[in-house]
Amino acid sequence: MSAYHEYLIHMKDGTIKQVNPITETEVWSVPGRDNRPLRPGYNNEARERHEPEDYCDFCVSQLDSTPPEKNRLVLENGQYVMKPRLSYHEARQNSWVFRRVSNLFEIVSLNYWSKNYNYHLDENIAQWKRSYLDDPAGRQHVLKIVDYKLKMAGKRPEEIEAISEQEKLHQVDPFFAGTHELIICHRHFVPGEGPASELFASGDLTPDEHFAYMNFTIAAMKDIYSHNRYVRYVTTFQNWLSPAGASFDHLHRQLVGLDEWGTALEWASRKVRDNPNIYNELLVNFAAHTNRVVAENDHAIAFVDIGHRYPSLAIYSKSAKTRPHELLPEELKDMSDLVHAMHAALGRKISCNEEWYYTPKDSMDKIPFHILIKLRVNTPAGFEGGTRIYINPITPYRLRDTIVPAL
């Protein structure tokens, strides 16, 4: 406890200086700046309601706008069931709760794995690709996606038309074996009568749906690892609304396979190596000692975190297991419930990033499984760039006092 004063400093004028114990990022919350209301991440202007929904490329009636489905989660007789590697026609024959597809605009492309690691599709994926393309409808679907990518790359219609079908088919492997994926929710707007206005957000899922969402995401992580042995870490995140980086204001989560851990986890691993108890000592226990805990259950705890560029909520698993797929079902359910509760408390209109952290598969340094929800309500500017001191407009205690009544 004697070291806590180094990370959370209350100045006499009311300024609260924060330093994150893991990243060492310095953040100030300045009196007066937290009086501003949280700005909404979208304009909820009413739109004409359509059923089935067709508001964006992720909507239920726009299946031809996304690549072939790597997996689908459906509700059958009260149970969530996964339907992997559907054919074109199978994907259009039943309803779904979540879908898993490749991202058309990859951060880490399949070409990256092919050129740098000589990666090739394994036989299971290659067989799915062959059967999908053998179906004329499936082939036309895939060619339509290729044409769209070429158009977005700046090709003129006549240039796209001049490319042969065989050349286009050489570009489809990322749709089947890419390691940048999307988990897409079935709803765009909250269901109901009248015009559509309220976007369907994480907090609008039922607790069981959110748990299914989390399990489906973890199944995708495992699948990426199993089909590409060069992947060392699958980073997992959710961008809610355009200020948080979302291309569509439609609930979805993303996964990206990487051949390294990234700077944040490298830094965290060094911290854990020096002090294996640092996450207990300077994150969770510190939050409890400074009254920043907002919710807790048997297997997880949620608190307002400090030292982030944006106001942040942290949800930590209490499990001794440090990778999501290793958690017992009851441990994962409690994590899901707290993450879901934080989203429900924040509401639909606050733009935020949900970021997952866990121990990489090839690490011996134990980083507990935890999820950060960062509210994108401020924009770092010149002061931050010149000083590396970030101005967070909401103090940890104002965020706590906002979340707890909402919970």
**The tokens 């707290």 sit on which residue?**
338
| Residue 1, pLDDT score | 47
Which stretches does DSSP call E strand in 37-195? 69-76, 79-82, 98-102, 180-185
Q: Model confidence over 200-215: pLDDT tens digits?
A: 999 999 999 999 999 9
C-beta separation of 67 from 184 below 8 A? no
The conformational region for residue 264 under phi > 0 = left, psi -120 to 50 = alpha, else beta, is alpha
- What lies within 8 Å, CB to CB, of 373 at 6+ separation is 312, 313, 314, 315, 339, 342, 343, 346, 352, 353, 354, 355
Which stretches does DSSP call E strand in 241-325? 252-258, 293-296, 300-305, 312-317
User: Cα–chain-centroid distance for residue 237?
Assistant: 2
C-beta separation of 290 from 5 below 8 A? no
Q: Which helix (H) or strand (E) holds 117?
A: helix 110-117
Q: Model confidence over 275-297: pLDDT tens digits?
A: 999 999 999 999 999 999 999 99
382 pLDDT exceeds 60?
A: yes
Q: How far apart are CA 144 and CA 118, in angstroms?
A: 28
Which residue type does 246 have? A
Q: For 135-290, where are the alpha helices, taking DSSP H only?
A: 136-152, 157-162, 165-169, 173-177, 207-227, 263-274, 278-279, 285-289
Q: Model confidence over 222-279: pLDDT tens digits?
A: 999 999 999 999 999 999 999 999 989 999 999 999 999 999 999 999 999 999 999 9
Which residue type does 40 have? P
Which residue type does 159 have? E
| Residue 195, pLDDT score | 80
| Residue 35, pLDDT score | 53
- Token pair of 157 as six digits: 């219609």
| Residue 192, pLDDT score | 84
Give SS3 for 218.
helix
C-beta separation of 358 from 367 below 8 A? yes
Give SS3 for 13.
coil
Q: Model confidence over 80-109: pLDDT tens digits?
A: 999 999 999 999 988 899 999 999 999 999
32 pLDDT exceeds 80?
A: no
For residues 373 and 197, which has the higher predicted lDDT (pLDDT)? 373
How high does pLDDT run on average in the chain?
93
Backbone dihedral angles phi then psi of residue 156, each to the nearest 5 degrees: -80, 155
- Token pair of 138 as six digits: 């499936």
pTM value is 0.94
What residues are paired with 189 via a beta bridge?
199
Percent of the chain as helix, strand, coil, to the nearest 5: 40, 20, 40
Q: For 153-206, where are the alpha helices, taking DSSP H only?
A: 157-162, 165-169, 173-177
Which residue type does 23 have? T
